[in-house]
Amino acid sequence: MCEIFFFLRGLIFVTIGGPASLLLFKIKISPKIHVFSPKGRVELSLSPLQKKKKKENMKRIESESFASVRFLFLVVAVVATTTSAFLFGSAEARRAAALPPRSLFTGDDEEKRGLIFGKKNTVEEEEEESSAADYDDVWTQKTSRLREKEMRFPEGVLKSATPLERAAGYFKLNRTTRDAHMFYMFFEHRGTGGGEEHKEEEEDATKIPVVLWMTGGPGCSSELAAFAENGPFEVVENEDKSSEDKYVLRESSYGWDTISHLLYVDQPVNTGFSWTSDPDDDEARDEETVSNDVFEFLQDFFLSRPELADNPLFITGESYAGHYVPAVSYKAFVASKNDEGSVNLNLKGFAIGNGLTDPEIQYAAYAKYSVGIGIVTAEQGDEVNAKYLATCEKKAKKCNNENGKRYSNATLSKKCIEAVEYCQNIPNALLEIAAQNKGGKPINVYDVRKECVGDLCYDFSPIGKFLNQKSTREALGVGNRKWETCNMEVHEKMMGDWMRDYEPLIPEMLENGVRGMIYAGESDFICNFAGNLDWTRKMKWSGGEEFAKKFSSPFVIDKEKGWTGGEVIQNDDKRFSFVKVSQAGHMVPLDQPRVAQEMLRRFVNDENVATGGE
C-alpha cells in the first residue's frame, strides 16, 4: 500500500509539478541582488549584461524543465520505492536506496541524468558566480548529491608521492532552492594502497579511522590546514623557474593521513572553494545549519564509500571549530543513537585545537593568561576585569538563555551580537596595555612569541598562490573560482553564534562512549590554554570531579631522548583529555607537526595520550 501511495503522489507531482515549477522560477528570479554590509541589507541593481544573462538562463531553464518532465516518469517508481525504504526500512536499506540509480540512464538519458543530479548545471551562471564550472567527464556522480573527481596533479607539481587515492568533490545542499555546494578533499590513509608493502590485512582495514577536519574562522578554508598544518603535502617554491607553476607540493612526513583516512570540508558554505549562488539566503548563521549541512555531507560521503562506513570516525578542528566540532559531533551522536540517516556513523571521538567552546568562561580567562605570560601586570589585569567582566558575563548569559528568560531567535541573535561586541573589550584592552608595555609594539594574538606578519599574522601567500594556479584548479575541479583564506562575509553572518556555549553538548557524548580531547598551544592568546583548561575543569559529568582534581603529566614524545611536548591531563578511563602543547601557538600542527601527529595517533588508538600504550 505504501508503494502505491508514493507512486500516485509522484505521478501527481510529475504531471502538475513540472509546469508549476516554471512559474516558481519566474517568481523567484529577482532583478536585484541583496548583500549584507555592516550597515545592514543593501540592494544592488543588476547590470545590463547580468540582466541579459538572467534572461538567457530563464529560457534555458524553461526548455530543460519541459525536457525533463518526460524523463521524470521513468524515475517515479524508483522514487516511490526509495521513499518507502527510507521511511520503513533498515539503515542498510536506506543506504542502498540513497545511491543514484545508474541503471536507468543510457545513451541520451545521460544528459537528463545530469539535470536531475546536478552534474550539468548552467555554465553561464557558474562563470558569473566564479564557481566550479567544469562538469565534464572527469566527474563521477557518487550519490544523488555528491560528485567527485580524482585529484590528479601534473608530474611537475607533485613528484615522488605515495600512489594513493586522493579525491576532490562537491556536495550539493538541499536546504535551498538555489545552487549551494560544499567543497571537500579526501586523502586515503598512507598505509593502504600503492603496492604490496602498503596494503593492510583485510581485517585491519575497517579499523583505520576516518578523521574529519574543519578549520575555524568562522569562514576560513580547510585547505589552510590541508597544505599548511596536517595534510599529506606542504607547498614549496618550484625549483624549475621556467615552469608556469611557481609552487609545487612536497610530501610531508607528519601528515595525519599517516594515521587515518583524512577528510577536509570547506564550510560553512561560501568558505574556501565552497560556493552558493545566493549568499544572502544560503550562508549559515548558526550551528544548527552548520551541523545539519556537515551531517548530510557525511551521510553521502560514506554512502559513496561503503567500505569505510563502519570505520571509526573522529571529528576534529581548531579555533572556531570549538563551536563546529561539538555541534557536528552531537548531531552525529544523536542520529546514530536514534538510527536516523542512511548511514549509522561510527563516531568514536572528537578533538578541538585552541578552540572557542565556552565563551563566557574563556573571556574571563584572558586576564589570567595575560598576567601569567607576563604581557600585563596583575594590577592591569585586575583593572580590565573590574571594568568589563561582570557585564560581559551578564550579556553572555542572556545570549545562552541562562538568565531565566526565553527569547525569540531574532532577539536572541541580537543579544548574542551585543554580547560579543561588548565582551571584545576585554581582550582588546589587554592587548592595548600589552602593546604599551612593549613600547607600542603590537602582540601577535595567535603566537605571543612572534611578530605579527600579514593580515592573519602568518604568511600563507604561497598557499594562496598555489591554490589559484591553473593546474591546481584543474586538479581540484573548482573551475575559475578564486580561493581566499577566509571569507569575511561568512564570518560576519556567524557573529550571532559567537558567544553561544557548546560545552553542554559534550557530557552526554562522554557518558556514552564518545571520547574527547581538547588541546591548545601554550603561546596562543586568542583561544588560550588557560580558558580552555578552565571550561574543561568546570564541566559537569560523571568523570568531571576526577578530571578537575588531576595533576598534569609530561607529554612524553620520545622517552629515550627525553623529549616532552607539553603536559596532559586525562581521566583514568581515557574518556577525556586535555593537552597543553609546548612551543606552539594557535595552529599546533603547524608549529609542532611531530607532536601533533603523535598526539592524534595515541588518541584515535585509545592509548594513554601522555605516554602512549595502554
111/174 same-domain check = no
When pLDDT is cut at 50, 70 and 90, the band that residue 79 belongs to is very low
Cell numbers linked to 44: 544592488
Of 2-11, 226-235, 508-517, minimum mean pLDDT range: 2-11
205/338 same-domain check = yes
Residue 126 belongs to a domain: no
Question: What pLDDT, on the 0 to 100 scale, is given for residue 216?
Answer: 93
240 catalytic residue (yes or no): no
| DSSP state string for 421-451 | HHHTHHHHHHHHHHHHHTTSPPP-TT-TTS-
When pLDDT is cut at 50, 70 and 90, the band that residue 30 belongs to is very low
When pLDDT is cut at 50, 70 and 90, the band that residue 191 belongs to is low
95/168 same-domain check = no
Q: Is a pLDDT exceeding 60 seen at residue 115?
A: no
Question: What pLDDT, on the 0 to 100 scale, is given for residue 286?
Answer: 78
Task: Indicate which CATH number applies to the domain containing 187.
Answer: 3.40.50.1820
Residue 437 belongs to a domain: no
Average of per-residue pLDDT across 86-103 = 41
86/194 same-domain check = no
Question: What pLDDT, on the 0 to 100 scale, is given for residue 294?
Answer: 94
240/360 same-domain check = yes
Higher pLDDT, 523 or 128: 523
Q: Is a pLDDT exceeding 70 seen at residue 245?
A: yes
pLDDT, tens digit (0-9, with 9 covering 90-100), for 456-468: 788 899 999 999 9
293 catalytic residue (yes or no): no
Exactly one of 319, 413, 471, 523 is catalytic; name it: 319
206/355 same-domain check = yes
Residue 393 belongs to a domain: no
Burial 243-259 (b: 16+ CB within 10 A, else e): eebebbbeebebbbbbb
Half-sphere exposure of 311 (CA within 13 A, CB side): 30
Eight-class DSSP state of 14? I
319 catalytic residue (yes or no): yes
Question: What pLDDT, on the 0 to 100 scale, is given for residue 287?
Answer: 81
214/71 same-domain check = no
Of 198-202, 326-330, 479-483, minimum mean pLDDT range: 198-202
Residue 134 belongs to a domain: no
pLDDT, tens digit (0-9, with 9 covering 90-100), for 307-330: 999 999 999 999 999 999 999 999
Domain end position, chosen among 120, 149, 165: 120
| DSSP state string for 295-324 | HHHHHHHHHH-GGGTTS-EEEEEETTHHHH
155/115 same-domain check = no
Residue 281 belongs to a domain: yes
Residue in this structure with the C-alpha cell 508514493, named with its chain if needed:
6
Question: What pLDDT, on the 0 to 100 scale, is given for residue 569?
Answer: 98
C-beta of residue 319 within 8 angstroms of C-beta of residue 355 = yes
Eight-class DSSP state of 482? P
88/144 same-domain check = no
Higher pLDDT, 171 or 123: 171
Question: What pLDDT, on the 0 to 100 scale, is given for residue 177?
Answer: 66
Exactly one of 524, 534, 577, 591 is catalytic; name it: 524
Number of domains present in the structure of the chain: 2
Q: Is a pLDDT exceeding 60 seen at residue 570?
A: yes
C-alpha to C-alpha distance for 4 and 10, rounded to whole angstroms? 10
22/82 same-domain check = yes
Cell numbers linked to 408: 525569540
Q: Is a pLDDT exceeding 60 seen at residue 82?
A: no
User: What are the Cα distances from residue 264, in Å, to 170, 221, 226, 235, 510?
Assistant: 12, 9, 7, 17, 24
Residue 524 belongs to a domain: yes
pLDDT, tens digit (0-9, with 9 covering 90-100), for 263-273: 999 999 889 99
Residue 395 belongs to a domain: no
Tell me if the bond preceding 268 is cis, omega within 30° of 0: yes
470/332 same-domain check = yes
39/67 same-domain check = yes
Question: What pLDDT, on the 0 to 100 scale, is given for residue 561?
Answer: 87
C-beta of residue 190 within 8 angstroms of C-beta of residue 232 = yes
Question: What pLDDT, on the 0 to 100 scale, is given for residue 562?
Answer: 85
Q: Is a pLDDT exceeding 90 seen at residue 156?
A: no
Q: Is a pLDDT exceeding 80 seen at residue 600?
A: yes
Averaged confidence pLDDT in the chain: 79
Q: Which domain holds residue 90?
A: 1-120
Domain end position, chosen among 120, 149, 169: 120
Residue 383 belongs to a domain: no
Average of per-residue pLDDT across 46-59 = 41
Question: What pLDDT, on the 0 to 100 scale, is given for residue 407?
Answer: 55
